[in-house]
Amino acid sequence: MKLYDCDLHIHGSYSGGVSKNMLIPEISMQAKLKGLDIIASGDILNKEWLRHLKENLCEENGCFRDKKIDVFYILGGEINDVSNVHHLFFLPNFESAEILRKKLSSYGRLDGYGFGRPSISLNAEKLACIIEEANGIIGPAHAFTPYYSMYSHFSSLQSCYGAQVKNVFFMELGLSADSYFADLISGNHGLAFITCSDAHSPWPHRLGREFTRIELKKPCFEDLKKVFMEERERIKLNVGLDPREGKYHCTACNRCYSKYSIESAKGLNWRCPRCKGTIKKGVRDRIMELADFKEEVHPEFRAPYLHIIPLAEIILMATKAKDINSEAVQSTWHELVSKFGSEIKVLLDVELSEIQKIDEKVARHIGAFRQGNVLYISGGGGKYGEPIICASQEELELKKLELRDVLECNSTFKGQKTLAEF
């Protein structure tokens, strides 16, 4: 058995809104810098991307690996059903991908540069049945986001997948939820949770910004499927952004981003009095509508969830540079990663005294992050939330008072766990 850090939801360069740099050689190289061991192939139903995968991956005992770099891949992708619900699916081999392409080709578009996800005229139950026939597995993608998720259109797994719910073993939490939120709904307690980046570019503040640490015998589909179905305790850690950073965490106006309580939004008939924009129900409020529990509760096998901030963003805050792509940020990021091996090691494992030798301000910010001295101006209405790293607990408390008018959406959360609690 070995621990693998896995990002199981990305997109390739043939998908809409995706960087032209999202090609296997670049993805693999950036994955190594990030510290990732396994990546989902993404977009395997697209014929051009499938060709690209076949050209760049080799198979070894049921495992798929980059031909040049020691990074493994799980074959699969994301698909949109007739209800505008997005699903993740994983497959054992290229033969299964060809079978699935053939079965789904008459139900919608699968190919074409510039399209978003493959979109088909089947409901989730029928789609799950076809994926099972192709020897694959399926689960809800970014299950809580508005517009294109299971919980934006359905109130339960059963109502979404129907008779095929018995063959749904995992759920992707996405950027909008963590295991605390997801487990407030009892119907999710039988599922494995994975946390993924949904990356549209290969750079390490995107790729692997969320990942799952899994204990595997081999880095392959069959063992991953066994973990999801029978041995969920082998998922050891979910790592991702705090849900407050999500674009739709709070109930808020889609135009001016003013935040509202769910009661106020209903009373206003979902119309913002400040700009006349539409108020969009936030993920937090949607989850609370469906929650069976009012306090944190988890099944025994559930892995802990660690909130993280990408290293480049921490460097940006520490240096007060202009943007994340500035020379000050990128040179420090590359120096730290070159010295210590990967971004994940720098964020979680390297002694602060060692980081101080390269940059004292960055070391102080990483130390504060590890202690959990982080506040969040919550996102909503399509605007991302903003993390604020405080130098001490005292500064954090002062910032709470200073920003109390914009931190009101934090009331549901407990404090962020520190690294020492994992």
Does residue 405 have a pLDDT over 80?
A: no
**C-alpha–C-alpha distance, residues 382 and 379, integer Å:** 7
pLDDT per position as a tens digit, 73-96: 999 999 999 999 999 999 999 999
**C-alpha–C-alpha distance, residues 137 and 90, integer Å:** 5
Label the pairing between strands 305-307 and 235-240: parallel
pLDDT per position as a tens digit, 288-309: 999 999 899 999 999 999 999 9
Which amino acid makes up residue 266? K
Lowest-confidence region among 28-32, 115-119, 207-211: 115-119
Per-residue pLDDT, 175: 84
What percent of the chain has a predicted confidence (pLDDT) above 70?
95
Label the pairing between strands 170-172 and 192-194: parallel
The answer to whether residue 409 is domain-embedded is no
* End-to-end CA separation in angstroms for the chain: 21
pLDDT per position as a tens digit, 155-174: 999 999 999 999 999 999 98
Task: Check: CB of residue 150 under 8 Å from CB of residue 157.
Answer: yes
Does residue 327 have a pLDDT over 60?
A: yes
Give the total number of structural domains in the chain.
Answer: 1
Question: How many CA atoms are closer than 13 Å to the CA of 312, on its beta-carbon side?
Answer: 19
Per-residue pLDDT, 112: 59
- 241, two tokens: 């952004």
Which residue has 């924009």 as its token pair?
Answer: 277
Does residue 411 have a pLDDT over 90?
A: no
The answer to whether residue 289 is domain-embedded is no
Task: Check: CB of residue 391 under 8 Å from CB of residue 280.
Answer: no
Label the pairing between strands 235-240 and 211-216: antiparallel
The answer to whether residue 325 is domain-embedded is no
CATH number at residue 41: 3.20.20.140
pLDDT per position as a tens digit, 360-400: 999 999 999 999 999 999 999 999 999 999 989 999 999 98
Per-residue pLDDT, 174: 83
pLDDT per position as a tens digit, 193-221: 999 999 999 998 899 999 999 999 999 99
Axis crossing angle, helix 94-104 with helix 124-133, rounded to the nearest 10? 140
What percent of the chain has a predicted confidence (pLDDT) above 90?
87
The answer to whether residue 130 is domain-embedded is yes
**C-alpha–C-alpha distance, residues 8 and 23, integer Å:** 16
The answer to whether residue 292 is domain-embedded is no
**C-alpha–C-alpha distance, residues 271 and 8, integer Å:** 37
- Which backbone phi and psi does 260 adopt, to 5 degrees? -140, 150
Does residue 24 have a pLDDT over 50?
A: yes
Residues 6+ apart with CB under 8 A from 105: none
Per-residue pLDDT, 419: 46
- 120, two tokens: 């088909």
Task: Check: CB of residue 81 under 8 Å from CB of residue 124.
Answer: yes
- Mean model confidence pLDDT for the chain: 93
Task: Check: CB of residue 199 under 8 Å from CB of residue 7.
Answer: yes
**Residue 97 domain boundaries:** 2-243
The answer to whether residue 365 is domain-embedded is no
pLDDT per position as a tens digit, 36-73: 999 999 999 999 999 999 999 999 989 999 999 999 99
